[in-house]
Amino acid sequence: MPDFYKIEKKQIEEKLPKLVKNNVKVILIKKFSSVKECKKIIDFCYTNSTPYKHRFLDKKKDFWSSIDVYPSLARTRRIFKTFEMGKRYRQKFKAFDEVVNLQYGYLYDNILKQRTYSKFSAYQYPRGGGFFSKHKHSRWPTNYGVILNLSKSGKDFKEGGINNFFYREKKIYIKKNEVDQGDLTLFRYDLYHEIPPVDPHEDLKFDKSGRWTVTFPILYTNPFLYKRQRPR
């Protein structure tokens, strides 16, 4: 099997189980979500946060945001804005519900289903150099990382921004502009990956432009079993 494999949403039931069984490293599901749904998620995150605060928390909405610009205590280098949403947002956004159903329908066994839950984390990599340096995670319990691409390359940003994946120091080849708005990327969670700088020659600004994504890491419900998924 190749390192990278592309399927249509209608082929999930037919092809995804075999791809996962064969440990394919990166799987792209085309047109998983609609452009309208992608814009809805971006609009919600942007409207319900503030560009003027480093940290923002709304307990009533179970929503918070955070801006990371070369955080001094982190082991990875990065410029991005994070938006964390609670479990209730599975009902608010159709895409979230569809991703969770895909995760627990095709990527995990029954034992893990009973001990874990899916977390909703949106990221904005702003124009002006938003990026995330090369890093990796422990493979379990997430198994396959999931990235929903919310932005349109060539419109929301011109340069950089699309994930690079590496296996044994070798970059996995994915054509330029292969990943489009609404596409879903599955990748083996222990692969090194990075986000190259987004339009690095522009002024840095956290508006609606740049590259936006949502990730769905799997966490243990029991805090004693939990191992932090995000790199420090």
Domain boundaries, the chain: 4-220
Taking only the tens place, the pLDDT of each residue in 171-191 is: 999 987 899 999 999 999 999
Confidence of residue 24 (pLDDT cuts 50, 70, 90): very high
Confidence of residue 230 (pLDDT cuts 50, 70, 90): very low
Taking only the tens place, the pLDDT of each residue in 38-57 is: 999 999 999 998 766 678 88
**Pick the residue with more confidence: 7 or 113?**
7
Q: At the topology level of CATH, where does 4-220 sit?
A: Jelly Rolls (2.60.120)
pLDDT score for 111: 60
pLDDT score for 84: 96
pLDDT score for 13: 97
The percent of residues above 70 in pLDDT, for the chain, comes to: 92
- DSSP letters, the chain, are --SEEEEEGGGHHHHHHHHHHTT-SEEEEET-S-HHHHHHHHHHHHHTS-TT-SEEEETTTTEEEEEEES-TT-SS-EEEEEEEE-TTHHHH-HHHHHHHHHIIIII--HHHHHHEEE-EEEEEE-TTTEEEEEE----TTT-EEEEEE-S-BTTTBSS--S-EEEETTEEPP--TT-S-TT-EEEEETTSEEEEEEESTTSPP--SS-SEEEEE--EEESSTTT----S--
Q: Is the pLDDT of residue 161 over 50?
A: yes
**Pick the residue with more confidence: 123 or 55?**
123
